Chains A and B, each alone.
Chain A
Amino acid sequence: MNPLLPAFSLRDTEGADRSFPTAARPALIAFVKEDCPTCGIVLPLLDAFARAYGDALDVFLVGQTRDGNARMMQRHRLASPLLDDSGLKVSFAYDIDMVPAVFVADRDGREIERRMGFDRGEWQTLDASLAALAGRARAPIDWNALPEWRPGCGSLSVDPRYADRLRAEAENSPLRARKIEIAPDDDEVEFMFDQGFTDGLPVVPPTPERVIRMLAGTRRDPQSLVAVVPPNMGEATVEKVAINAVMAGCKPEYLPVVIAALEAVCTDAFNVHGVMATTMGASPVVVVNGPIRHRIGMNMKIGALGQGARANAAIGRALRLVIRNIGGARPGGTERSTLGNPMKFTMCFAEWEERSHWPPLHVERGFAPTDSVVTVYGMTGGPSLIVDQTSRTAAQLAGSIAQCMESIHHPKAHMMSDALLVVSPEHVDTLHTQQYTKADLRRRIQEVTSRPLRELVSDERSGVGMSQERAKTLSAEALDRRMPKFASDDMIHIVVAGSEAGKFSGLFHGWVGGEIGSQPVSRLIDPN
């Protein structure tokens, strides 16, 4: 059985409402738009059909713009009024790509014929079927005066200016989030500030059409759950993540990275609640590896850790907005940072794998070089600059890096934290002169930062460190034992980024490392 054509009710140019289907009459439904030359050819034919068969079948001539309808009525002196589908909802429901588009329905409203564009032979057949349906003589049309064939024009319902809105508003729209109507007198950006939706900077209004466009960035079902986000344990569906990604300024192709980063932070190992809530002021640092870096235009070179690169800035910001809006982590609420931290706006960059002599971060963490991977770190500070323009050997430079790393939290705070070291290309080259591996660099850092325990005891210069009382219980041998800065070598995370010029590296200071704090987590980015 043929499918039922969508029902509709539209107002015509004379102000009357006309509905399809009507009881027990066949129908001709034609979609036209004013600036389509082929529509200009077929309109007199459609009008002739209406005159010849209109007493036996319903003729609906549907125009796609209101002004265009008025002009077409005048230009073609039409006897049948045009229906106003300037909202394009009926055109969308009929799923037409082009105009003119003509549908013939039987008396039950089922489709029995359709024609797109203009082909003289086909339209003569159409005329014959309409005459037969109506039981009337053929319409008086001089077919020889018409061109043999003319292509149709694009329907406005598939025009990129309208198509996303139509998809968002359609009955089968994938959107389920609560719709918020902003009154015309309200400024939408101010409204979003007032609602507490932003990080303190303006956000892009997440209109349904923008969210639909964002969802094109992933194959995942909009209602599938990405993560349960602490501290409120709010459910982040793909749609909710997309809404926040729109607000952050993401392009659709960034969405898979935001989704993977969110999955990574919402793990027990990463412990995003602790990271956001701590008075120490930690925040996720997102590192991206693999082919997607190039595909979405991530910055891994000059100024990689700073502003100016949309993908870097927007991905990190989207992650933070999700944690704020869905997880409910807000400064003064569960986010209790004493000083705050600019990384809480955004911190995301890519590794310049090609400029490194070492296996890239994701390969080191067990992924294939061709995988695209996001890795998240909970960091309290940085990037602080490690300045060494004079070391010429790997051991010297690694020693400098180690000395700077000792300052994390406090020089006397050993075995407390982890760190993310961003080695610049010039520093990579210096380390490469002695074929230093990442393992060599870690070992050197541990060696140079190692201090006898007696130097890490609280004293008159600083109260930080092991208490005097505890130190008194230890043997001289125990107090002479050297303690490295990091509890294990794998607490030192290493990536390569930055410009070709500058013997400076960057250092992110960790929070509480290990199982009781936050551990780095990597997630495969869903290839799209």
Chain B
Amino acid sequence: MTTILDPTDEREPIARQLSPRSGAIRGTVAFLDISKPRGNVLLDRLEEQFKQRVPGIDVVRYSKPTFTKPAPEALRQEIRSKSDFVVEALAD
């Protein structure tokens, strides 16, 4: 991790960064269906594959009320507090 000092007058927030990649999947993986048609089909298939290839993880399924709007704050908080990884499905 490199730290630099902000060269600006700090009136604007810095764009968000990618989280560090650990190189391994463990713990709880959240599968978030954004409620686009057939997103559940994609996630079902992914879940099968995850369970085969990464045994020992827990998969928890979530879904957004509608794909047209951002996930509600409570849902985001719940996923953040209970999960180590998130897979977000698009589809159509």
A179 — which chain B residues lie within 8 A by C-beta? 3-6
How extensive is the interface on chain A, given as a class?
35 or more
Interface string of B4-42 (1 = CB under 8 A from A): 111111110011011111000000000000000000000
Q: Do B5 and A208 have beta carbons less than 8 Å apart?
A: yes
Cβ-defined contact, A183 with B17, below 8 A: yes
**Chain B residues closer than 8 Å to A476, beta-carbon distance:** none
Contact B5 A183 (CB under 8 A): no
Assess A182 versus B17: contact at CB under 8 Å? Given A188-B2, A205-B2, A207-B2. Answer: yes
Asked if B3 and A326 sit within 8 Å, CB to CB, the answer is no
Q: A181-B17, A183-B17 are in contact. Are A232 and B3 (CB under 8 A)?
A: no
Q: Does A247 contact B (CB under 8 A)?
A: yes
Query: When chains A and B are docked, how far (Å) is the Cα of A183 from the Cα of B2?
Result: 7
Docked complex Cα distance between A180 and B2 (Å): 8
Which A residues touch B14, using CB under 8 A?
Answer: 178, 180, 195
Shortest beta-carbon distance, A187 to chain B, in Å?
Answer: 10
Q: A residues within 8 A CB of B1?
A: 181-184
CB of A48 closer than 8 Å to a CB of B: no
User: What B residues does A207 contact at CB under 8 A?
Assistant: 2-5
Q: Which residues of B contact A180 (CB under 8 A)?
A: 3-6, 14
Contact A321/B11 with A183-B1, A185-B20 known, Cβ cut-off 8 Å: no
| Contacting residues of chain A (168-225) with chain B, CB-CB under 8 angstroms | 175, 177-186, 188, 191-192, 194-195, 197, 205-208, 211
Decide: A208 near B19, CB < 8 A? Known: A178-B10, A232-B9.
no
Within A221-243, the residues touching B (CB, 8 Å) are: 229, 232, 234-235, 239-240, 243
Tell me, in angstroms, the Cα distance from A208 to B1 when the chains sit together: 13
Would you give the shortest CB distance from B6 to chain A, in whole angstroms?
Answer: 4
* A528 CB to nearest chain B CB (Å): 22
Judge whether B19 and A234 touch: CB under 8 Å: no
Q: Which residues in B have their C-beta under 8 angstroms from that of A321?
A: 7
7 cross-chain pairs, A with B, having the tightest CB-CB distances, nearest first: A234-B9, A178-B6, A177-B5, A183-B17, A325-B7, A182-B2, A243-B7
Residues of A within 8 A of B (CB): 175, 177-186, 188, 191-192, 194-195, 197, 205-208, 211, 229, 232, 234-235, 239-240, 243-244, 247, 321, 325-326, 328
